Amino acid sequence: MNILDGIRVLDLTNVLSGPFATLHLAWLGAEIIKIENPKDGDLARKLGCVPEYNKMLMGTSFIAQNGNKKSMTLNLKDEKAKEIFKKLVEISDVLVENFRPGVMDRLGFGYQDLSKINPKIIYCAISGFGQTGPDAFKPAYDQIIQGLSGLMDLNGDERLHPLRVGFPVCDTVGGLNAAFSIMAALYHRERTGEGQFIDVALLDSIMPMMGWVVANLMIGNQNPVPMGNDNFTAAPSGVFRTKDGYINIAANKQEQWEMLADLLELSHLKEDPRFKERDIRKSNRYELTPLLEEKLIQRNTEEWAELFNKNDIPSGAILELHQAVNSPQIKHRDTFSTVNVEGVGKVQLFNMTAKFNKTPGKITQPPPKLSEHTREILKIIGYSDDEINSYKSQGII
What are the residue numbers of the active site?
A: 171
H/E run at residue 293: helix 285-296
Write the DSSP symbol of residue 369. Answer: P
Q: Are 66 and 19 in contact (CB under 8 A)?
A: yes
Q: CA 382 to CA 87: how far, in whole Å? A: 10
**Strands (E) located in the chain:** 8-11, 31-36, 69-73, 94-97, 122-127, 196-201, 237-241, 246-250, 315-317, 336-341, 345-350
Task: Note the Cα 228 to chain centre separation in Å.
Answer: 23
Scored b (16 or more CB within 10 A) or e, 227-242 reads eeebbbebbbbbebbb
Q: Give me the amino acid identity at 381.
A: I
Looking at beta carbons, which pairs linking 373-378 to residues 24 or more positions away fall under 8 Å?
Answer: 373/33, 373/70, 373/71, 373/72, 374/71, 374/72, 374/73, 376/70, 377/33, 377/70, 377/72, 377/88, 378/72, 378/84
Sheet arrangement for strand 246-250: 237-241, 246-250, 315-317
